[in-house]
Structure 1
């Protein structure tokens, strides 16, 4: 395990003090969150290598769902996979549905502390319907099913995600697998919420996975994983509520400022830690879903129209501000 920072025990105490830490869709009193000292923005480096221009699917897909029983070095990692499926779009994801025709980019999603992948289904199924294969592991020591959640185990999770990515990409070349021939194995992104956002940042810092073309950090920070970004430039999208009571907006913004690659930050002035991500009735939910989906369409499909939609879509209904440095 990487050496722990002396700051971690103080910061994780704040995380653990919040009911259903990291994943709760319920509003909770603002405790001030975890705050890092403001930092100067990192100097920009070379732009990300452009994805070959293309067009993301114009129409939504039906969504299929399956389970993978994976484990890394004795760490159980059951994975829920949502994917574009054949059939009429809409409705409940169908277990074992036949995959749609095409080759689809892969997005690895990391849940928050005491969460599960299923709590994010409202967002993840929308990504799958838009033409992405979404693989979401349940982590052994930080999920809602863990006997005694261990926040320090977040530092092991970037390696878990890399392992999951390897196993999922292998399905594309495995004869007889439902996803054989259906994966764009050269187009991969990582995303995560709260502790899963920290996990995602770790995949671009202390445990850089150079297969990743882009990242989405939802209500996350650089807690424990640092901001020593390395490897090929990979665009990053941060989404953070300014009233976040678990991971302070200031700490998320501090991490964002240090990203040296093309980046954007969607700030929700009335957003807390989770409702806009987990509650379809929240006014910001559609803005978050559409912004993240268009970001994935641009970074993984190379869709220029999706890139052009980002600023206007993010500003829809006046529920968010968009800092665009992509």
Structure 2
């Protein structure tokens, strides 16, 4: 039998939830799976930081008039937001507004590709979040914002909770992520962070991901998937979608039932959980 592990300290520091003032009452139907991706339409907004950093940003819109929680997503090297459409649309179908830009020097058709430009992406992220709040007005609840990313996008997300701390963020998700080459300590107000890591990942190693996780001083979780590589969201799409959606329901909506489901979902997928 395959064994996977889910290590979590989400109950640490007395943080039972990060619901913002005015957050809606948790939906009793939230235990249902996320709706199919086709229910979440997408559009695109054109942003440009400083005039020379174009950041066209894909938006996955949930149903309803809002305000909705915002999940800001950062793609990996030689990638783009559409490459993660299944996962991002699942979050949108669960009621979250999801936005992800193409970073100017790391997306797959970048005119001047430069992997080292990842160090500038946290500032891009902060800029796009600010512009989204301006552009989408009442569609976004400014008190319920989170950040997520994969690979270099997860490194970007780590930056948003460390050296480039964005205090607007309530929670974060790192898929195959590690710290920057010159890491800074995690800083600012406590925010629950979830790491998802394939044990067979040779791009971002288990040791690198767990090293970043170990440095987090706040409630945190680490989901290890032994048979997954660098794309755990593709290797185990149902598990990753269900776990991350409930993570957002807890951290952004204050849904305590979703928090309690996290280890149950892990156990149902033949994982062991430890608190």
TM-score, normalising length: structure 2: 0.87
Q: CA deviation at 1:264?
A: 0.6
Matches within 5 A, 1:146-225: 146-173=110-137, 181-224=138-181
Aligned match of 2:243 in 291, 309, 322?
291
Larger RCO of the pair (alpha carbons < 8 Å, separation 6+) = 2
SS of residue matched to 1:156:
helix
After TM superposition, give the deviation of residue 293 of structure 1 in Å: 0.5
Q: Paired residues, what number?
A: 255
- d(CA) in 1 for partners of 2:180, 2:131: 27
Q: Does structure 1 residue 267 correspond to structure 2 residue 239?
A: no
User: Is residue 2:262 matched to residue 1:310?
Assistant: yes
Alignment match, 1:55: 26
Q: Which has the larger radius of gyration?
A: 1
Runs (5+) with no aligned partner, structure 2: 1-8
Q: How does 1:36-115 map to 2 (within 5 A)?
A: 47=15, 50-52=18-20, 54-56=25-27, 58=30, 62-73=39-50, 74-85=52-63, 100-115=64-79
Per-residue deviation, residues 17-75 of structure 1 (Å, max 9, x unmatched): xxxxxxxxxxxxxxxxxxxxxxxx9xx76748742573057476631211001000120
Tell me: CA distance 1:322–1:195, structure 2 relative to 1, closer, same or farther (3 Å): farther
Residues 233 and 65 of structure 1: CA distance in aligned 2, closer, same or farther (over 3 Å): same
Note the C-alpha offset of 1:105: 0.1
**2:196 equivalent to 1:239:** yes
The TM-score with structure 1 as length reference comes to 0.73
Asked whether the 8 Å contact 1:205–1:225 carries over to 2, the reply is no
Question: Which consecutive unaligned segments of at least 5 residues does structure 1 have?
Answer: 1-40, 86-99, 174-180
Report how far residue 199 of structure 1 moved: 0.1
